[in-house]
Structure 1
Amino acid sequence: MKKRNFVILFFLAGLILLHCMPDRMPPAPVENTRPQFVQFAAEDSGAYAVGLRDPITMFFDEPMDLSTFPGNFTLESPKGVIPGSFSQQDSIVVFTPSQDMAPASYYTATIRGGVQDANGNSLTLDTEWSASAWFFSAGQYSENGFPRVFIADRSFDKLYLVGNFHEYLSESSEVIQPRGMAFSPDGQHLLVVSKQLNGQVSVLNPATFGKIQDAAVGSGPEEIAVAADKLFVTDVTGRTISVLGVPGYAPLATISFQDGFSPRDIAYNPANNRVYVSNNVLNRPGTFKVLDANTFQELATLENLLSGRRTEKLQASTDGQWVVIQQEQTDLILLLDANTNQVADTIIIPVPQNKDMDIYDNQLYVGSSGGFLFKYDLNSRVLTATLTFPSRCDGVAVAPYGEILYATTPVDTLIHVVDIETLNLIRSAKVTASTIAKLVVSPENYTSP
């Protein structure tokens, strides 16, 4: 009996001791493998015309801890950071903006290594690691279509049409030796100077790319300037300026000069209603004429503004304060004060030679044969941005809304779409010839098949 009681007591003591011992069973394993970032969604990488509230989608290889994202993700442009919220479905994380993005802006979405999975594992311990994607937000350039771009090919008597933002669409042989191009004051007609012995300005419909009419001008026309009710065309061979009325393009006057002056490049300044003309005579490249746009009278003859080389282009600044003079085959750009007719300042581009330029909102964009596109603030004359191309940049044209610009690089037969603010490249497209040069952008948008 005593032996039996002893066994029972021993058994009970064992149970008590077992209950008091710590649990020595191994715990459930905790996953300690770092998550992997796979990619941004395709529509968030290098896209254009992106909606101002479109979400940003990120793919991982496992579910993530959303609370770790606010300090490790940014969506920003030069105009600022966009706030928003995060959501998740399986291993897909979506950032949804809580306010509109700025229109026509170059945005960068960046994810950093501090984001963690559901088990607290970060992508990496490398504090410098990040992955990013860029896109260009929608703007006026993408409302109801896109602008059309017309490119002159002087060697093969052709015009090329680019639409749908960056697609080569077609070509036309209706204009012989195309030179200067512009749009009519109402934006409904593309005007192309045809450099023939019997000179013409060809009037085209930008929607159909078909010719409407030819308007006769002087011999060997080169460039064109457009005022509110008339056109001015320089006749290099005839050494005159032809003036055509708008609308209708009937001849109004022929301006001639008695001192051997031969008109070359031309610009109209609406701020003072004056026309500025450079000289084509090789031994007098620094001579310029200033004309009244209504009476066609000569207001001033400016001497010795340039030496050695003639002009590449003339253009009035947006506010009309300056007439910007670009000298061909050099690095020199002059700023002529439109009130005093005196050279107020100069700009020397870092890499010559001058090939083309355009102005929008007093920002100057210069293409050079060195393969560069330069952006200058005309008010301060400061170089604010540079874009490098693989070959020379022969043509530059800002779209009328001032959101994008187009540039040509003939050696590689490309036309490029560029963000006007940052000079970031958005798209490039092939054109069929290596002799493309100057271009013009339509003031209206079009839908193209």
Structure 2
Amino acid sequence: MKLHKYFIFLFVLTNIILIFITGCTKDREPTAPNEIQRPKSLFITPSAGKLAVSKNEKIKMIFDEQMDLSTFPGHFTLKDLQGNNIDGSFSKDDSTVIFSPFSALSKSSFYFAELRGRVRDVNRNSIELNNEAILNDTTLLLSTWLYTEGDYSNGGFYNVYVRDKKDGQIIFLSNLDSVLNPI
């Protein structure tokens, strides 16, 4: 009987100690879950084939989540017709990433913009395309091309380009700087 009272006393004392320890420690509430939704690219502006675009135009890429700007250099390119990279900086406005060239674009010129590869959102989630995670640097996410405005009243003339239908290339022929003879 004495042993039985001893076990009851030990059981009650152990429970009191456990309640005291658990009641006096840090709050054990679960933490907020990490955001794991992959971002999606929605569209890019100016839209493909836009003509007479301002020479100070900024390229805007719209996503469904805020993006991490540090992942864009090396994955976004803006190139002229000769393939020269146009340098610029990135900024953001909510879920829009904005590329601003350091200098004005050339007049009456083609430019091609592409976003490829492993860009991430602010929670470091990789982007998805067609419900698949993009884990490489080569997958094309967004692209556009544009033609800048000219300064036609100040000695500027249209450049003449021809699109080779067979190869799909755009070829620069010359500047249209004189009146052509009518047929």
Shift of 1:110: 0.8
Return closer, same or farther for 1:18/1:62 CA change in 2, 3 Å cut-off: same
**1:45 aligns to what?**
48
The SS at the match of 1:400 is coil
Number of aligned positions between the proteins: 161
Q: Retained in 2: the 8 A contact 1:75–1:110?
A: yes
Unaligned runs of at least 5 residues, structure 1? 148-164, 166-359, 366-372, 374-385, 390-395, 402-438, 443-449
Cα separation, 1, equivalents of 2:33 and 2:181: 64
Shift of 1:398: 5.3
Q: Which amino acid aligns with 1:96?
A: S
Cα separation, 1, equivalents of 2:10 and 2:165: 96
Which structure is higher in helix share?
A: 2
Q: Which amino acid aligns with 2:17?
A: A
Q: Retained in 2: the 8 A contact 1:74–1:82?
A: yes
Return closer, same or farther for 1:397/1:70 CA change in 2, 3 Å cut-off: closer
**1:82 aligns to what?**
86
The alignment yields a C-alpha RMSD, in angstroms, of: 4.0
The SS at the match of 1:80 is coil
Cα separation, 1, equivalents of 2:96 and 2:165: 36
Return closer, same or farther for 1:89/1:18 CA change in 2, 3 Å cut-off: same
Return closer, same or farther for 1:34/1:59 CA change in 2, 3 Å cut-off: same
Q: Is residue 164 of structure 2 the alignment partner of residue 387 of structure 1?
A: yes
Return closer, same or farther for 1:143/1:31 CA change in 2, 3 Å cut-off: farther
Which structure is higher in strand share?
A: 1
The SS at the match of 2:180 is strand
The SS at the match of 1:14 is helix
> Which of these residues, 104, 108, 113, is aligned with residue 112 of structure 2?
108
> Which of these residues, 131, 145, 152, is aligned with residue 134 of structure 1?
145
**1:426 aligns to what?**
none
Q: Which amino acid aligns with 1:82?
A: I
Q: Retained in 2: the 8 A contact 1:399–1:441?
A: no
Q: Retained in 1: the 8 A contact 2:66–2:121?
A: yes
In the TM superposition, what whole-angstrom CA distance separates every residue of 1:341-369 from its partner, at most 9, and x where no partner exists?
A: xxxxxxxxxxxxxxxxxxx9xxxx9xxxx
TM, length-normalised to structure 1 = 0.30
The SS at the match of 1:108 is strand
In the TM superposition, what whole-angstrom CA distance separates every residue of 1:90-121 from its partner, at most 9, and x where no partner exists?
A: 21111111122233321111111311111111
**1:60 aligns to what?**
63
Larger Rg: 1
Cα separation, 2, equivalents of 1:9 and 1:95: 67
> Which of these residues, 35, 59, 65, is aligned with residue 39 of structure 2?
35
Q: Retained in 2: the 8 A contact 1:397–1:441?
A: no
Q: Retained in 2: the 8 A contact 1:83–1:98?
A: yes
Q: Retained in 2: the 8 A contact 1:398–1:441?
A: no
The SS at the match of 2:18 is helix
Q: Is residue 75 of structure 2 the alignment partner of residue 72 of structure 1?
A: yes
Cα separation, 1, equivalents of 2:72 and 2:57: 18
Q: Retained in 1: the 8 A contact 2:75–2:137?
A: no
The SS at the match of 1:18 is helix
Return closer, same or farther for 1:75/1:398 CA change in 2, 3 Å cut-off: closer
TM, length-normalised to structure 2 = 0.67
In the TM superposition, what whole-angstrom CA distance separates every residue of 1:115-158 from its partner, at most 9, and x where no partner exists?
A: 11111112222432112100112334x447x96xxxxxxxxxxx
Shift of 1:33: 2.2
**1:118 aligns to what?**
122
Return closer, same or farther for 1:397/1:108 CA change in 2, 3 Å cut-off: closer
Cα separation, 2, equivalents of 1:66 and 1:98: 17
Shift of 1:25: 5.0
Cα separation, 2, equivalents of 1:85 and 1:98: 7
Higher relative contact order (CA 8 A, sep 6+): 2
Return closer, same or farther for 1:441/1:37 CA change in 2, 3 Å cut-off: farther
Shift of 1:51: 2.3
Q: Which amino acid aligns with 1:106?
A: F
Cα separation, 1, equivalents of 2:153 and 2:118: 39
Shift of 1:66: 1.3
Cα separation, 2, equivalents of 1:45 and 1:22: 56
Shift of 1:59: 1.1
Q: Which amino acid aligns with 1:36?
A: K
Cα separation, 2, equivalents of 1:441 and 1:69: 49
